[in-house]
Amino acid sequence: MAPRIDVITLFPEAFRSVLESSIVGRALREARVEVVLTNLRDFGPDKRGTVDDKPFGGGPGMVLMCDPMFRCVEAVKALDARPGPVILLTPQGERLTQGRVRDMAGHERLILVCGHYEGFDERIRTLADLELSIGDFILTGGELPAMVVIDAVVRLIPGVLGAEDGAEEESFSAGLLEYPQYTRPREFRGLTVPEVLLSGNHAEIARWRAGQALERTRRRRADLLDRASAAEAAVDE
Ligand code: 4G3
């Protein structure tokens, strides 16, 4: 059975672009994943669908209320028998990494919750198995972070990318940045392609690429290099 991603949001229509994008759209059409959007507003107490209120203690802005969110998460859980982690997208969460994306892709079900306004009632956090942040910046809502999670997870579902792309993920999720790539023409406005790539010597090409990936990582993202030292040994061979 295809994995299922539920999204709880006040702006379900915002997800159209991602769900209709070429790769995620095809995965949905081929039923390799199911994405179900639930509008939190449907769980508000009145006809308006009010889901926020003024903060106790005063202060600016509005806060998402407990009752609509609790009932919504409970209802969404009941839509499918399979269990799965409830994940809140918040700036206070653990940082999203490829490793956490891989963990999420291993679940048959994910329930993503998008916060809004100035935040949510602190008690809503008790619904979450995990809080995730896509980076140290504030957005107007959790929708874009949820779309980032959907895109990153769906591309890891077997069959979603071609076999070659899948293999690529294996080697470069080892923690190195990608090596430089080139295509025709061999010379463009005086910019040339490294000779080794035209040599046909596949062992030498592999060695060059590994060295480039390592060097690029050292220059741009030295923080990633601890995990990549194993790759260094391969280049030294
Ligand atoms: C909850 C996530 C939600 C509390 C959400 C703001 C950035 C991220 C929100 C709150 C978000 C992120 C909605 N902004 N970095 N905004 O992943 O203060």
How far does the centroid of ligand 1 lie from the alpha carbon of residue 219, in Å? 31
Q: Determine whether the shortest distance from the Cβ of 217 to ligand 1 is under 6 A.
A: no
pLDDT tens, position by position, 27-83: 999 999 999 999 999 999 999 999 999 999 999 999 999 999 999 999 999 999 999
Q: Is the CB of 125 under 6 A from ligand 1?
A: no
Q: Tell me the torsion sign for CA atoms 174, 178, 132, 114.
A: negative
Quote the tokens at residue 197. 């790539």
Ligand 1 atom nearest to 148, measured from its CA: 17
Question: pLDDT for 103-147, tens place per residue?
Answer: 999 999 999 999 886 789 999 999 999 999 999 999 999 999 999
Q: Is the CB of 142 under 6 A from ligand 1?
A: yes
Atom 17 (ligand 1): residue with closest C-alpha?
Answer: 133
Q: Ligand 1: distance of its center to the CA of 30 in Å?
A: 32
Has residue 164 been placed in a domain?
Answer: no
111 and 214, same domain (yes or no): no
> What residue numbers bound the domain in which 190 lies?
171-236
Q: Dihedral (C-alpha) 138, 139, 143, 147: value to the nearest 10 degrees?
A: -70
CATH at residue 216: 1.10.1270.20
- Point out the domain boundary residue: 106, 123, 154: 154
Asked if residue 15 is part of any domain, the answer here is: yes
If you count DSSP H runs as helices and E runs as strands, how many of each does the chain have, helices first? 8, 9
Q: Which of 103, 129, 154 is the last residue of a domain?
A: 154
- Chosen domain end from 105, 120, 154: 154
Structural domains in the chain (count): 2
Share above pLDDT 70 across residues of the chain, in percent, rounded to a whole number: 91
User: CA of 123: how far to CAs of 64, 65, 69, in Å?
Assistant: 10, 9, 10
Host H or E run for residue 20: none
Residue 19, CA atoms < 13 Å, CB-side half-sphere: 18
Q: Specify if 102 maps to a domain.
A: yes
Across the range 218-234, mean pLDDT stands at 78
In this structure, are 142 and 209 located in the same domain? no
